[in-house]
Amino acid sequence: MSKFLVPVHDLMNRSGLMREHQLNIELDAPMGIVGIELGVGDTIEVGLRLESVHEGILATAVIDSTAHGECSRCLDKIEIPIEVDFQELFAYSGVSEDDFTVVDEHIDLEPIIRDEVVLSLPFQPVCSPDCQGLCPECGVKLADDPSHAHEEQVDARWSELQNFRNKEE
């Protein structure tokens, strides 16, 4: 049985009833995108409120966790706090295939939580907005050495002229 399944048999077809849960879900599979994710064993805290309405079960939740990854500029390890919320209706009978439904007196929060968490992650995570990244020539972290510089590269097409100049001297 999935850790994301929540029983709702006591709320079904009893409009007006409400129940609150505090869930701590430990992940069995990573959740995220390349460069930043919630890994196996990370915990997602879910403050969940379930309300019985005429059409089904209305789920309202606040999700808290911390994503781990690396800065896309300097490759340092970073942690990004995640705080997202959602409100979704789990219908007793689905009209379209995109509807969330109550199945066997349970609702499955995994697809919604996965979507909300993944969509809240930055596409290119950075350790700070002013991160300078790495030197493209030698890979030195520019924040550690702000005066880092290289000699200007001579275009290979003009290298013979440099040899000519050296002969005259």
Q: Is 100 found in the same domain as 40?
A: yes
Q: pTM for the full model?
A: 0.76
Q: Are residues 47 and 76 in the same domain?
A: yes
Q: Is the pLDDT of residue 169 over 70?
A: no
Query: What is the average pLDDT across 47-59?
Result: 91
Question: What gap in Å lies between CA 88 and CA 107, rounded to an integer?
Answer: 11
pLDDT at 64: 95
Residue 125 forms part of a structural domain: no
Can you say whether residue 139 is alpha, beta or left, with left for phi > 0 and alpha for psi between -120 and 50 degrees? left
pLDDT digits (tens, 9 = 90+) for 78-113: 999 999 999 999 888 767 667 788 888 889 999 999
Structural domain harbouring 75: 5-120
d(CA 24, CA 51): 20
Residue 88 forms part of a structural domain: yes
74 and 35 part of one domain? yes
Q: What is the pLDDT of residue 165?
A: 65
Q: 89 and 140: one domain?
A: no
Q: Are residues 28 and 103 in the same domain?
A: yes
Question: Which pLDDT band, with edges at 50, 70 and 90, does 132 fall under?
Answer: confident
61 and 138 co-located in one domain: no
Looking at residue 76, its amino acid is D
pLDDT confidence of residue 94: 67
In a domain, 89, yes or no: yes
The answer on 45 and 105 residing in a single domain is yes
**Which pair of tokens denotes residue 28?**
């069995």
Q: How many CA atoms lie within 13 A of 152 on its CB side?
A: 2
Q: In angstroms, rounded to a whole number, what is the distance separating the alpha carbons of residues 70 and 72?
A: 6
Counting the structural domains of the chain, the total is 2
More confident site: 70 or 143 = 70
